[in-house]
Structure 1
């Protein structure tokens, strides 16, 4: 009896995992375009509307979803799909919910210079008759949905639905440092109703806790099923979600040197690993840039040391972001969210680099603590 109990315990342990996926910080699309002398032309042709990710009705011909500020995205990790495994570099995006990768069915330039999934090389692939379409800046990612084994770190998810791209129009994906996207938001915003990867992990009992955590400082990673307290100082501050779509919370205010500069009556904020910068309504962003003396977004080197923190107060707790974080190459890391749907802020990587973030699906809450 003891032998069988031990075996059962080992089986349970093998199925319930905590796994850490290392994230690379590589060249951003902005850097790649600049090195190829294409940045200025690209920006003229493809103006950017961040609001389209969160409010599709506001999308214009150039709006994109789900790559938000794709120009500066730098964090991506490796997963594998199929049997035997085919490896892909993906953006782990808490602001979208679909997993998709380029496929051999796609002949767009953006596919031909990235890893492409070949279903015929996988003995575990199952096709479907379903299509998937996600709008991008110069067209769309279109493709088909299929099922296969997806391995993320040490977790093997044997029946995961994912998108195989057939078209990827435009040039921005051509220069992106990752192959595809692994969305970590809620099923309610998943295109074609496809079950997100983390939902499948939870449903199959593949994670020891129904949460994942993100660390974007030195040695970046996303950890599925666990929290590593050695990467943060103090205690985690738990914040309830205000919606189960994106990782959306209610923010109390945005202040600098004790002066309220935005969100004076409370507002909504989304914590999004797929957005590089700090984004907010035009008035709030203008107030910040005016307060720090930015001219066309540029800051004088001599002013850097005297710039104040931006304080985001959430659930009664102050979360400061110092000038060393929000000024990059003498420019403020801010972008407008043009929306008529109330005051919305997107706390992207500029914010997340300062805090260890726990995305808790079991309790629909988020945990934040300063990085150690």
Structure 2
């Protein structure tokens, strides 16, 4: 999910401590760590009682509703720990989750602050609005909004506990969030914040890796503090990231089915958002891409920003999207979204029309899970770069001649 709230407006923890804690969650030893340096996280660094020496593996479940929507996993909050399921979201920076104070939250097993001896309830109430939501529907009329209360508590991931972590408990949410099988969101932006910052203070490398997979494959994982080279093919290709909070990489062109246009050859900064399932581009770019797929793809009036075509026409329609980036060594490379991602399912209001992958959103260029689930990705905060290698049947290729 892409949060529209500026990082500087959110309260961050002033201090934290990291300790070992018993847990059934796996602690994984990475096969390869390439981090050379660390970005010092914000906040005062306090004494550390026990270092997080090994990378932390967090198994991820796939929220599948006809298409892959979100990958989420468990953390623990409080003393004694209460399990809290969250999306580890590279499109936001903070931790927020449903509490028992929220009467509009339909999720079960909400966090109960009264049962945690370490929970400090804050008095600041604010709203967090999101430019992209949980599913594939465009955000219309600001319909993804959380009302949250500030607080702090101990947060435990993979047997490692961090004290006094800044967080927000959800006290009200808009109905669009009610389909979520998880309680909240853990921001994983391009600057170390919250629990992740506490781990870097404890000596863990300031990076994390995603092994996002399609629903049919399973075994998805977030690896905090390491890289597992058993989960990808070949070598990682790194590109500089340029976002301030977001993860952004400069792209030189887009091509569809091996062809490009003057519009698609324009340089653009593309946000990588693990909390968004489909992709978003400005209207001109979106329609230039669709023009290379099928003339029958049209805007869907009931959902501004969405497009579709008759479901009877979509299966097997060629729609391979190549987005070209430049590696740190100066070599261009493509990240590819295969044709199988084009169909994200029928519209609820018109089951004969199937929604297509790309949503129009002027002022935003973003790719999500539809791309990331075909690659092993490394999010290197310390070196401010992103790494990619083929995951499963996808191919990371150097660009060929484009029409």
Q: Say whether the fold is shared (TM-score over 0.5).
A: yes
Contact 1:326/1:350 (<8 A) preserved: no
State which of 64, 79, 83 in structure 2 corresponds to 1:87: 83
Partner of 2:197: 199
> The residue matched to 1:74 in structure 2 has which SS?
strand
Q: Which contiguous aligned blocks of 4+ residues in structure 1 show a shift greater than 6 angstroms? A: none
Higher relative contact order (CA 8 A, sep 6+): 2
Contact 1:99/1:162 (<8 A) preserved: yes
Partner of 1:181: 185
Pair 312,126 (structure 1): closer, same or farther in 2 beyond 3 Å? same
Distance (whole Å) between structure 2 residues aligned to residue 353 and residue 20 of structure 1: 17
Partner of 2:247: 247
Partner of 2:280: 279
Q: Determine whether 1:78 maps to 2:74.
A: yes
Partner of 1:61: none
Q: How does 1:196-235 map to 2 (within 5 A)?
A: 196-205=194-203, 207=204, 209-217=205-213, 218=217, 219-235=219-235
Contact 1:212/1:222 (<8 A) preserved: yes
Distance (whole Å) between structure 2 residues aligned to residue 92 and residue 177 of structure 1: 14
For residues 23-52 of structure 1, the C-alpha deviation after alignment (integer angstroms, 9 at most, x for no partner) is 111344xx7xxxxxxxxxxxxxxxxxxxxx
State which of 362, 376, 379 in structure 2 corresponds to 1:359: 379
Q: How many residues align?
A: 306
> The residue matched to 1:223 in structure 2 has which SS?
strand
Contact 1:78/1:89 (<8 A) preserved: yes
Distance (whole Å) between structure 2 residues aligned to residue 73 and residue 118 of structure 1: 27
Partner of 1:116: 110
Partner of 2:172: 167
Contact 2:70/2:275 (<8 A) preserved: no
Contact 2:257/2:318 (<8 A) preserved: no
Contact 1:99/1:163 (<8 A) preserved: yes
Q: TM-score, normalised by structure 1?
A: 0.75
> The residue matched to 2:175 in structure 1 has which SS?
coil
> The residue matched to 1:273 in structure 2 has which SS?
coil
Distance (whole Å) between structure 1 residues aligned to residue 319 and residue 112 of structure 2: 51
State which of 44, 59, 83 in structure 2 corresponds to 1:22: 59
Partner of 1:154: 159
How big is the shift at 1:245? 1.8
How big is the shift at 1:236? 0.6
For residues 253-289 of structure 1, the C-alpha deviation after alignment (integer angstroms, 9 at most, x for no partner) is 0012442244413101011011100111111111222
> The residue matched to 1:172 in structure 2 has which SS?
helix
Partner of 1:313: 324
Contact 1:251/1:263 (<8 A) preserved: no
Partner of 1:323: 339
State which of 144, 147, 158 in structure 2 corresponds to 1:142: 147
Partner of 2:297: 295
Partner of 1:45: none
Pair 356,299 (structure 1): closer, same or farther in 2 beyond 3 Å? farther
How big is the shift at 1:90? 0.9
Structure 2 segments unaligned to the other structure (5+ residues):
1-47, 131-141, 299-307, 327-331, 346-353, 393-403
Q: How does 1:262-277 map to 2 (within 5 A)?
A: 262-277=263-278
Q: TM-score, normalised by structure 2?
A: 0.70
How big is the shift at 1:96? 0.5
> The residue matched to 1:173 in structure 2 has which SS?
helix
